Chains A and B, each alone.
Chain A
Amino acid sequence: GAGVSQSPSNKVTEKGKDVELRCDPISGHTALYWYRQSLGQGLEFLIYFQGNSAPDKSGLPSDRFSAERTGGSVSTLTIQRTQQEDSAVYLCASSLAYQETYEQYFGPGTRLTVT
């Protein structure tokens, strides 16, 4: 079946512009995660959605970052007034449910470059 998809695959933007990154999780997966992978670093958790529950936003690095999930499926990560340090690969993942034992399935990522 179809895996997690993300769009765009690459995004180049000028400093100060807003960007939107999209994630389509695996059908039927109720949990959705956003991570950021910076050069030379591991993956950094950003935000987590589970069903209709309030999202866990504890990993968002600043108030310029926000995310929403519509209809329990597609999610959009928005970065306002982008800065050069926002340049990274943004990965979306989904899992069947919220339980810690379930593995997460990752999309191919969106490579964001802020010039």
Chain B
Amino acid sequence: AQSVAQPEDQVNVAEGNPLTVKCTYSVSGNPYLFWYVQYPNRGLQFLLKYITGDNLVKGSYGFEAEFNKSQTSFHLKKPSALVSDSALYFCAVRPTGANNLFFGTGTRLTVIP
């Protein structure tokens, strides 16, 4: 069965500090990996994706994510957090041949001024 785990429901970080939002997955084959962000009363916004190649991918708003095949992880990172980064973050995977994304349950990030 396909599954995506975001082990932390809530992450708090001080403004200016680095942030990490964790994601691990269990899927068959070589998945494609995505991060989305959801602001209050808004739909999900695409941040970045890993398809192939360099394990470190860069995306919108200064976010990046590191793909680790051996640990089946795809953690989201940012060197310096902003208060405006406070939102709900979803990790998603799309297994090869699948028609849909499988999502984690989300991590609420709060950046404290």
Chain A residues in the interface with B (C-beta under 8 A): 4, 33, 35, 40-45, 48, 50, 56, 59, 91, 93, 98, 100-101, 103-109
Contacts and interface: CB of A to CB of B under 8 A. Distances in A.
Contacts, number: 56
Contact of B99 (A40, A43, A98, A103): A98
Contacts of A106: 36, 43-45
B103 A42 contact: yes
Contacts of B102: 45
Contacts of B96: 100
B106 A108 contact: no
B90 A43 contact: yes
A32 B21 CA distance: 28
B25 to A, nearest CB: 12
Contact of A109 (B43, B100, B106): B43
Contacts of A50: 99
B16 to A, nearest CB: 29
Interface of B: 4, 32, 34, 36, 41-46, 49, 51, 90, 92, 94-106
A21 B36 CA distance: 23
10 contacts: A4-B43, A35-B100, A42-B103, A42-B106, A43-B44, A43-B92, A45-B101, A45-B102, A48-B100, A106-B43
Nearest to B93: A100
9 pairs of A and B residues whose beta carbons are closest in the complex: A106-B43, A45-B100, A42-B103, A106-B44, A43-B103, A42-B105, A48-B99, A103-B46, A108-B43
A97 to B, nearest CB: 12
Given A103-B34, A108-B43, A109-B43, A41 B51 contact: no
